[in-house]
Amino acid sequence: LYIINFNPHRRPLGDPYDLDGPHPPTLEQITESTFVTFPDDDAGPAKAWLVSQRNNPQWKPLFDATYGLRPREELYDLKTDPHQMYNVAQDPAFATQRADLERRLLDELRNTNDPRLIDDGKFYETPPMSGPSDETRRTLKNRKNKS
């Protein structure tokens, strides 16, 4: 499995709104409101619990695997790593496979005029594809007004 993360500086499940600020969202808020933090992950008790355990050394690796930044390239050997836990993209033993998969993926994206390759992917950086939703803006504004 080969993945290119075109914006590795961005988190795959959204930004961690206010988690380390003076008024972090409560467990109940994270359980009930998708957009209170990591807005690309639906609200619920599993999300709330994992976010609440983010600084616990036992659960931090799982939190990082779920919400952390990703490298530009990921390559997983599905024969030996079916759960995709060990990224071998930088392993010299996989250099030939990585280069071949990169070429094939980029060829396919070019052939289909994928927006990620046009104008540096700006299509995904402008509304309605990017930016906080109206609900997120309201949630953040309400939280700031309460402080």
48-63 residue pLDDT tens = 999 999 999 999 999 9
Please state the domain extents for the chain.
2-146
Whether pTM exceeds 0.85? no
Q: Which of 9-18, 118-127, 131-140 has the highest mean pLDDT?
A: 9-18
Higher pLDDT pick, 35 / 2: 2
Structure tokens at 23: 């008024």
pLDDT band at 142 (very low <50, low <70, confident <90, very high): confident
| Residues 81 and 87: beta-carbon distance below 8 Å | no
Q: Is the pLDDT of residue 147 over 70?
A: no
- List of residues 6+ apart from 125 with CB closer than 8 A: none
- List of residues 6+ apart from 55 with CB closer than 8 A: none
Beta strands in 2-125 (DSSP E): 2-4, 73-75
Instruction: Name the percent of the chain lying above pLDDT 90.
Output: 74
29-49 residue pLDDT tens = 999 999 999 999 999 999 999
Cα-Cα end-to-end distance for the chain: 46
